[in-house]
Each structure stands twice: as structure tokens, then as C-alpha cells.
Amino acid sequence: MALSISQEIVPVEHYLRQPQRLIYALIEPERVEQRSASLFRFKLSPLKFLMLKIEPTVDLKVWTGADGVLRLQSMATQLKGLETFDTGFDLKLIGNLAPYRRGQKTELRGQADLMVQVDLPPSLVFMSRTLVQATGNALLKSVLTTMRQRLERQLLQDYENWVKSQSLESMTGRSTHGLREVALSS
């Protein structure tokens, strides 16, 4: 995935040093709970997997390295409503978003790898392995497509809002850090 960004007053690299902004640009704010400066817990939309309704909660670590690359990594997962099935479910997400300068434009390039491992309950063990894999792959593709669409739509808008707030702050000499500029639409 690549997004092209026009040169702004405040470079996008400064924006990427604020990982919480990316989280709120990617995920509906009502689904996010900030656990620490770089750790966030979020509830995925309920997923239907075969005959099961799964409501995963994921702890996601988000940080910017010294190289300016923003990184995401899942740290823990939990299934709400199916706690007895919880030990047979594992979600791994690893991703990054890096800025690349090209003249007057910056290109953000990103990648996300998502893997879900599910140990089927005894009632589903006899189902076709091909059917289970096809359903699981469709589920993963849906999650990644949603993340990509929100990133393309919301990240650029949030960056523009952030640049405006930074410009306002420098003109007035007053800090706007206490204000939540993140205005997201689903």
C-alpha cells in the first residue's frame, strides 16, 4: 500500500511520531481504550466464522522507531463471549508505515500481515478443511481491506487536521494539545 502526501508546513514524519493519532485514524474511537503511551486495546467488529460469532479484543502496541517507521504489533488477543474457546484462538498482526521523500511529495508505504489461528471446537472438527480455510481467508481479507480503506480515507484527513492545529498553535502561541482533533467517520 502507498499513499502520496503533498508537502505540508509540518512534515508527515512529525505526525508519525504520535502513534495514538494513527490508532484513532484507523479505528473508531469508541472501540479503543488507551492502556499506556504505546499500548491500545480495541474491540474488533463481531466476526462470523462458520456457525460462530466471534468478538475479538486485541492489545496493539504502536510505536515509531528511530528510523521514523511507525510499527504495529499485536500483543494479546481475547474472545469476548466465547471464553471457553479463547485458548484456541490467536490473532497476530505485524505492520509498518514508512515515509519516503520524492521531491515535493512524501509517499507513505505500508504493509500489514495478519494471521489468525483457530483450533476448532469438537462440534466443527469434521467440517471440510478447505471450507474452513476459505472462510478464514475471506475473514482475514475483509479485516485487512477495512484497515486499508480507513487508512487511505482517515489518515490523510487526520494529518491535514493535525497540520492545521499545529499552524494555529504556532500563530497564536497557545497549545492545542488538549483538544481532540480526530474527527472520524465510519
pLDDT, tens digit, for every residue of 97-109? 998 887 778 888 9
* Torsion over CA: 109, 111, 150, 175 (sign): negative
Which residues are paired to 42 by β-bridges?
32, 58
Segment 6-13 mean pLDDT:
76
CA-based Rg of the chain, rounded to a whole angstrom?
19
Q: What is the pTM of this model?
A: 0.73
Interatomic CA distance for residues 27 and 32, integer angstroms: 7
CA distance 71 to 65: 7
What single-letter amino acid sits at 39? L
CA distance 41 to 145: 20
pLDDT per position as a tens digit, 132-182: 677 667 767 777 777 777 777 888 888 888 888 887 766 665 544 433 333
